[in-house]
Amino acid sequence: MHSRMSLLHSLATDNEKKMVLLVMDGLGGVQGADGLTELEKAQTPLMDRLAAESELGLLSMVDVGITPGSGPGHLSLFGYDPLSWSIGRGILEALGVGAHVGAGDICARGNFCTVGSEGIIVDRRAGRIPTEESAKVVKKLQDAIRSIDDVQVTFYPGLEHRFVVVFSGEGLCEEVNDADPQKEGLPMRWAVAQNEKARRTEEIINAFIKEVWDVLNDEHPANGCLLRGFSSAPHIPSLGELYKIKPVALATYPMYRGLASLVGMDVRDAGETLEQLFHAVGTYWDDYNFFYVHVKYTDSRGEDGNFSEKVRVIEDVDRLLPKILDLRPDVLAITGDHSTPAILAGHSWHDVPLLLWSPYARRSGAAEFGEKSCAQGNIGHMQGEKLMGLMLAHSLKLNKYGA
């Protein structure tokens, strides 16, 4: 166990104070034409009021200049060193959709995509086809593809263009690079083994993708697939046992439910909309004392390069925030797991804004919640993995260290 994690574990004490970690995925941004980021551009009167009464800062999820994936970003927020605990997106997505992943199995996160002439990837997300249509395509594939070279293949539908595939057989290895060019307009990038022991897995994966393309040849826009995050199930210490808390996860997207499940959180139904997500906090309020609430759409709109829509999602969160504040949490942290500036249409290395409210917060007096005010905040620049300790301290859940 990491030394800092061991320290928090040794100091943790149980009480019923309520903590809420509100994660707006990809929250951080870069200024647009008017010099404002998406968060600064958004009309957020409630978050701005909270900012004046809170401690502010910026979180570095992995290290300076390193662009984090959602897995490392969230592990950092939950208090795990993301460099010590490496978890693939495949296992997170698989657990999130309720997939069975046995010992030795390899799972991957799949995207349906649109493949053009000569294998050029025209659209990595197949136009974000509706979840209902995606489920039909998954069924078609499962009926057609049961195994590849004595390796059993099991499909699980996800949201929109996403699905999960689990490979079950002997001698499989997760050490295979993603089968995804990462950008449109490029030829397919096939899976490549990172070492000799993963060579057979590489061959099975690439044979699988070719079969998928053959089966979907007459479909549109989902006529192919890409696979990322090849991984097996790791063992990771439970969040509840580490910090003596009763944690629950409320998230609408499978991957984040999977991550929460992996660290020992209870995962409860959060509906499909932002309104249902925020309503769910009150539904489970009496049963838990740590609430992880995940908003996906800030990230997806940023990845679409849609500045104004990312602004709108942030404003929607501000409008719904009373559903949490009316419950009177003892500690509230609002942040992201990484930055997704619309100008870059993808994750970035920029530090993430943090607002931390509690009765014991040293008030910033800031006029708004945004990157500039957070850069001048009293928390300063902090490693993301230290946030959990700060939340525990503000909820009076840590005993004194030493005499």
pLDDT digits (tens, 9 = 90+) for 336-363: 999 999 999 999 999 999 999 999 999 9
Q: What is the mean pLDDT of residues 279-303?
A: 97
pLDDT category at 232 given cuts 50, 70, 90 is: confident
Q: What is the mean pLDDT of residues 375-401?
A: 96
pLDDT at position 93 is 79
Arithmetic mean of pLDDT over the chain: 94
Domain locations in the chain? 3-86+237-394, 92-231
Classified by CATH at the fold level, domain 3-86+237-394 comes out as: Alkaline Phosphatase, subunit A (3.40.720)
Measured between alpha carbons, how far is 113 from 91 in angstroms, rounded to an integer? 21
pLDDT digits (tens, 9 = 90+) for 299-318: 999 999 999 999 999 999 99
pLDDT digits (tens, 9 = 90+) for 56-81: 999 999 999 999 988 899 999 999 99
Q: What is the mean pLDDT of residues 171-178?
A: 94
Question: Which of these ranges, 37-51, 77-91, 180-194, 200-214, has the smallest mean pLDDT?
Answer: 77-91
